[in-house]
Amino acid sequence: MIDAELFRGHRLQAWAAVASMIALIANAGDLSANEVAKPATATAVVPAAAPASTTSTETEKPAAAAVAEPAPPPTPAKELFGAMTSPAQLEARALGFYSKGCLAGARALPVDGPAWQAMRLSRNRNWGHPGLVALVEKFAVEARDFDGWPGMLVGDLSQPRGGPMLTGHNSHQIGLDADIWFTPMPDRRLSNKEREDLSAVSMLGPDKLSVDDKRWSPAHVQIIKRAATYQEVERVLVHPAIKKALCEASASTTDRAWLGKVRPIFGHHYHFHIRMSCPPGSAGCVAQAPPPTDDGCGKELTDWFALLTRPPAPPPAKPVPPKPPLTLDQLPAECRTVLEVGIAKPVEPAPQRSLAPASAKSKSVAKSAEKTLNQK
């Protein structure tokens, strides 16, 4: 069986159908991440990229005048979190699951560092759990110092308060996911415009089933190995062709434990994705099932290539309705506090919550966030 966290028999067809969509997204930039993930304890698999949701403007009026108007559907959580421009000034905590949660006490990755530059600044997604920000900073510096990597171009982490996003990822919601471009950093500081416009480069060759040796290099192997070797990294997500290249580069070595953490997934040939485990002390963070313990270079990879080369499934006879977007009620209860703190009237801290109160200096933060909220 292919990676059990992703596939169960009949889901293969659905995946094949979304593969082309994901590829399209990937080609548009570095927003290919639809990292489907399953919590360690849940039984349902989160579906892949749901198409953009529809609003309920087509709701029919009831025939009988006496029937009360139905309550409007709740605002999608992605609209609430997508409007947040500043972090929740609380104790840092990843709340919920990678694809269903939010982030308290986020820290911003500086847009320029000694060995990295953050990209797509207009998205304001360079926020993460302080542990993730520290990890990215350490990774960039060590890759430069030990792997000959000239520096990292860093894509999306999370929104200032995490949560679902209006565009792009399913995951990246709790501040523990980061996208790193396969394109090395140029040896100059990029302008803000360049950070918006510069395209990431795919590592795939024309066959889309193998890496392009003109772009793929031993240094790529080294940095992915480094990422996967960090104890706090739980997974590194890459395209199956890249996983294959990593397996081949490691064929003669017995140091293979890190390979098991490198998980194949669609997309992820313009960037790779590092996912941290729940940080110590992050009560309310829902862990993902650990990856299989083998190196994943055998049957799992063979199955992925069978999937990549099979003809696309015919469209379903009946169109599958899109999954409704997540609402605030579906996220951990504390995400309401994360959303509200410092925005409107102060929230009474509930005794059972361990979130720290907002700091006094959050006044200006509150002001700008309030403005945002009022625009909604």
For Zn ion, the binding residues (CB under 5 A) are: 33, 179, 273
Nearest approach in angstroms of CB 167 to Zn ion is 13
Gyration radius (Cα) of the chain, Å: 21
Extended beta strands in the chain, E state: 93-97, 100-104, 107-108, 112-113, 116-118, 127-128, 152-154, 177-184, 233-238, 262-264, 271-276
Distances (CA, A) of 122 to 27, 159, 195: 20, 11, 9
Q: Residue 33 or 328: which CB sits closer to Zn ion? A: 33
Look up residue 302 and give its two tokens: 């063979």
Nearest approach in angstroms of CB 172 to Zn ion is 6
Nearest approach in angstroms of CB 270 to Zn ion is 10
Q: Residue 198 or 373: which CB sits closer to Zn ion? A: 198
Look up residue 15 and give its two tokens: 């995946």
Q: Residue 2 or 22: which CB sits closer to Zn ion? A: 22
Nearest approach in angstroms of CB 63 to Zn ion is 47
* C-alpha span between 302 and 300 (Å, rounded): 5
Amino acid found at 201: V
Look up residue 191 and give its two tokens: 């302008």
Q: Residue 179 or 334: which CB sits closer to Zn ion? A: 179
Q: Residue 33 or 326: which CB sits closer to Zn ion? A: 33
Residue of 107, 109, 123, 110 whose CA lies nearest to 161: 107
Q: Residue 266 or 369: which CB sits closer to Zn ion? A: 266
Nearest approach in angstroms of CB 168 to Zn ion is 8
Nearest approach in angstroms of CB 275 to Zn ion is 8
Question: Three-state DSSP class for 356?
Answer: coil
Residue number with the shortest CB distance to Zn ion? 33
Torsion of CA 88, 89, 94, 98, to 10 degrees: 20
